[in-house]
Amino acid sequence: MPGFENPRVHDQEQTVTDAAPVPRVARVTGVDVARGTALFGMMSAHVFAYFNLQGAPSISTVITAGRSVATFAVIAGVSMAFMSGGIQVVQGRERTAVAAGLVVRALLIGAIGLALGMLARLNDVSGILPFYALLFLLAIPLIGCPPLVLAGVAAGVIVVGPVLLVATARAPLPYAVSGTEPTFSTLVHDPLGLLVLLLVTGGYPVVVYLAYICAGLAIGRLDLTSCRVAWWLLGGGIALAVVARLSSALLLYPLGGLEALVAASRPDNTAVGTVRTLLWDPDSPTSWWYLALPAPHSHTPVDLLHTLGSAGAVLGAALLLTRRPFLARVLWPLAAAGSMVLTLYSLHLLLLATGVLRTQPAVLYPLMVLGAIAFALLWRRWLGQGPLERVIAVLAGQTRRRVANRLARRPR
């Protein structure tokens, strides 16, 4: 799967046909480090409470909320770019074969996500894998686009997607009530409702998250071994994140946006509670001023730009740090975990569903991180690619080669 495997095109997948191989994309350790960082950030968000006992956002929320999942999605786009040739985009028949392999990956990841969705009542986690599956399917037609076009698509989604969410907030759409998880039961009994859930009403609506995938695709078409590119990602990401928050502050305070939102909120809330809720965990949009909120997972343009900038900065920092051999060795355990995040993500959802140590997050989280790193190091040392990653890579690779061979027999 693009978002959950090594950024390198693995050996068993690299050759589409003997006559027309897909260009090899060397492993970029910094991408694995960034992906591992996002993984442990999401684990933190799932383990620790969103608000502390005083009603304020917890440290975990302040650091990871919204940013970790955004980094996941951006790296997914980067990996899609790598699997379709990196800088040298595959063309013609080779692109068709690559697209077929990506379809199989998306379907398999979607199936895993629907299965894990049945654990949502036990682990209290909104799974992202079914949303990722649809994102990959929608992004496949874009794998041949140049970086500037991809950036333009991402910008368009950032503008249009949030407006669509606000416009449909009061519409009687299927599964508009939060807490509904996509499962196989939803797929069988209400496939159209499942599609609406994934596109608009779910926890990670595709109509806005497509921006992260497109941005990642654009980044993956750059030379990520270049120090200059890494510095641009770091500096540009920080600048974008800061400008987004400053723009939000201007709209909410001097221009009166926050006051209008508080006035439109439920009257039974206290003023302080209402402001805190709006800034960190807002309900459904009550006015168009909602688009100026910076709250994590609010899916506003401010939220999207800030988290996109944060993701770019994390990736840029990881690329710069791993250019130093000593730091690359120090960060290798994090990179190992980042190379098999589908497996580790699934395992951590299974562990949370057992309820073990859920009342002791300060104990559970470090044990979860250390266990994930130990598992990744040992598995990579003795068996190589992660278990779920290997299954998906084999099935997708077989599909890719079969399509390529059939196309090779046809006259051009």
249 vs 173, which has greater pLDDT?
Answer: 249
| pLDDT tens digits along 321-372 | 999 999 999 999 999 999 999 999 999 999 999 999 999 999 999 999 999 9
Which residue, among 349, 299, 380, has the nearest Cα to 42 in the 3D structure? 349
Does 10 have pLDDT greater than 80? no
Report residue 412's pLDDT band, with 50, 70 and 90 as the boundaries.
low
25 vs 21, which has greater pLDDT?
Answer: 25
φ, ψ for residue 51, nearest 5 deg? -115, 145
| pLDDT tens digits along 86-121 | 888 888 889 999 999 999 999 999 999 999 999 999
For 212-223, what is the mean pLDDT? 96
Does 22 have pLDDT greater than 80? no
* Burial track 166-183 (b if 16+ CB lie within 10 A, e otherwise): bebbeeeebbbeeebbbb
Report residue 248's pLDDT band, with 50, 70 and 90 as the boundaries.
very high
pLDDT of the residue at 26: 55
pLDDT of the residue at 44: 96
For the chain, percent of residues with pLDDT exceeding 90: 76
Low-confidence winner among 81-95, 167-181, 186-200 (lowest mean pLDDT): 167-181
For 401-405, what is the mean pLDDT? 92
The beta-carbon contacts of 298-303 under 8 Å, at least 24 apart in sequence, are: 299/161, 299/162, 299/165, 299/205, 299/208, 300/162, 301/158, 301/159, 301/162, 301/244, 302/244, 302/245, 302/247, 302/248, 303/66
Amino acid at 271: A
Does 296 have pLDDT greater than 60? yes
115 vs 16, which has greater pLDDT?
Answer: 115
Q: Are 36 and 341 in contact (CB under 8 A)?
A: yes
State the CB neighbour count (10 A cutoff) for residue 363. 11
